[in-house]
Structure 1
Amino acid sequence: MLYATAGLLDVLVEFAIDREPQQANVPLAATPAAELTGTDHRLADVNPDTPVLTHFYLPDAGGAVSSVFGVDLGTPSGGAQARFVSHPTGPLAVIKEDDLAGAVLVAVPPWDAKQIRAFDRRGTGVELVGLDAEPPVETLE
């Protein structure tokens, strides 16, 4: 089972819509369930150490350096546990051309957060649960 915040799933669908007819490809990061707040009653049943996908990294960040040196500076080292990809022409599955991660979320038209599916790195389907919860507010000093 894979958990993600409902807000993140909504934003990922927006990325897919904005990128169409191109594919969206977005690195995702998680927050331990214990650090989330919200009214979703299912949150109490989730092990506090369970990672919940809560954040995304801008897909084009660090693009200039990556193009020249082949180094991805858009994602902090060890910071992305999962990836979101969209397939504007299908299929609703992991394909060979997708960038892989520990978990891959895939969306196809019609774009709807409830239609996003999750897969492990082998392409096997995993149950995706959207939680109405929020990660802690982060501030810069």
Structure 2
Amino acid sequence: MIRDTIKTETIAAMKAGDKDRTATLRLIGAKIKDRDIELRTTDAKPEDDALVTDVLVKMAKQRRESITMYDDGGRTELADQERRELAVIEEFLPKQMSEEETRAAIAAIKADLGADGMKDMGRVMGALKEKHGASLDMSRASGWVKEALS
């Protein structure tokens, strides 16, 4: 399980004295615990690895957005910090699909659903996220879906 791997890596980073890595791993642990607390009151609880992956995907997206903003604002030291955090977060994410693989997945889903225009974008995006959500960047995939449906 990803959760156990993160805990093990946190302990290893603490023993190695790697403060940046330890801080990032603790942050990941805190976000996962926050999500666990949010889900206490719900009836449907997702599978643990899916929950952890969802948290990691959101954290990675936040880091990417921050890097862009810091680079645009000339704050390279803050952007570098975000890049280091992103590198640690990405260690625990599934391998990301390439552009070719993503386009092939979009074409397959489009054919399965019989999608033929922009009115079907929501259905295609929903199916794409359901099948490949953790292994692709949905914001980039959105543009490719638009392209495929137009």
* TM-score normalized with structure 2 length: 0.27
Bigger strand fraction: 1
Task: Between the two structures, name the one with larger relative contact order (CA 8 Å, sep ≥ 6).
Answer: 1
**Larger Cα Rg: Structure 1 or Structure 2?**
2
* TM-score normalized with structure 1 length: 0.28
